[in-house]
Structure 1
Amino acid sequence: MANLQLIETTPYDFSPHPITDAEAQVMFRAALTLFRLWDITDDHAATLLDMPVRTFRRWKAGDTGRMSRDLKARLSNLMGIHKALRLIFHEPPRGYSWVKAPNAAFGGRPAIDVMLGGELTDLMRVRRYLDAERGAW
């Protein structure tokens, strides 16, 4: 009979890990590209990130400040929206234009109008919709 030894393992931690400042910086730079591809104004980008437009423009120029927990959550949701669109649409331009197209799921309004409500939950609503559409839930 083989001598079996019990190996102790640590259970996997499924709790969310906080987004680091370095990760948030990378997501912010990615969001700048996304805003350009979505063809939205600095005013709208600032609304999506819940910051004054002057602050957004300063950060856009490279002089970023402290990344709050709310901002990190907003960036995370924007990246999730982008990922879902890339998975749903095989041609990236279709995904970028989807954001401005009327959508029955949002009462005929485009997703960008929903997101421009300014609340984190507005971004989450669009992300949840897209995740459900791609079968992630």
Structure 2
Amino acid sequence: MAQFGFAERHVPFTVEPTGLDRDRFLPENRRRLSPPALRTFLAIADLWGLNEEERRLVLGYPSRSTYHNWAKQAREHGSFILDADVLTRISAVFGIHQALGVLYASEAEGVAWLRGPHQATVFGGRPPLALVTSGTQDGLMIVRRFLDAARGGLYMAPNAVDAAFTPYGDDELVFT
């Protein structure tokens, strides 16, 4: 059919679209990843000062006995398999931790940012940690994406710590 003087041409689609690599979700891959992922999560949770309830919320709220079994197995380098949802949540925590390491000079400053109120719209004056420990994967991903954007140079509204900051003037910049 011709439209606007151009004939429609059908070009066969020869490249397969890239899809989700399902092999990454095979039990043997999850078995390989689960113990070191949970050990690392526990170390980050210690750094952030998360209590048991908050840790369970981040992990999708497994029962206390399941959580303690996972933690015991991980610390003893045992073998267990976390489901894809839990591994995705842990991956989001890794991304948050990594972004904080890029944005802040010390771990303490990164933790202070997580625990302090934030005026960005997505946080509504609440600490980002409230979203991290909301129990939803969405909460984790919102914080991770926010930090990834900040790390990439997008504007991040100042916190209360920066409220009194005044920009440097030209007379204060000295080149030697």
Shared fold, TM over 0.5: yes
Name which of 105, 109, 126 aligns with 1:94: 109
Name which of 142, 147, 150 aligns with 1:125: 142
Quote the Cα distance in structure 2 between the aligned partners of 1:103 and 1:14. 38
- Secondary structure at 2:135's aligned position in 1? coil
Name which of 66, 79, 86 aligns with 1:55: 66
TM-score, normalising length: structure 2: 0.64
Note if contact 1:24-1:75 (Cα within 8 Å) is conserved in structure 2. no
Aligned to 1:3: none
Name which of 38, 57, 74 aligns with 1:28: 38
Quote the Cα distance in structure 2 between the aligned partners of 1:114 and 1:81. 12
Q: 1:26 to 1:88 in 2, by over 3 A?
A: same
Structure with larger RCO (C-alpha < 8 A, sep 6+): 1
TM-score, normalising length: structure 1: 0.81
**Over the residues paired in the alignment, what is the CA RMSD in angstroms?**
2.3
Q: Does 1:114 align with 2:103?
A: no
Name which of 30, 41, 45 aligns with 2:51: 41
Percent sequence identity is 28
| 1:14, distance to aligned residue in structure 2 (A) | 6.9
Q: What residue ranges of structure 1 are gaps of 5+ in the alignment?
A: 1-12
Q: What residue ranges of structure 2 are gaps of 5+ in the alignment?
A: 1-16, 155-176
Quote the Cα distance in structure 2 between the aligned partners of 1:47 and 1:86. 23
Q: For 1:55-94, what aligned pairs fall within 5 Å after superposition? A: 55-62=66-73, 65-94=80-109
| 1:93, distance to aligned residue in structure 2 (A) | 1.4
Note if contact 1:101-1:111 (Cα within 8 Å) is conserved in structure 2. yes
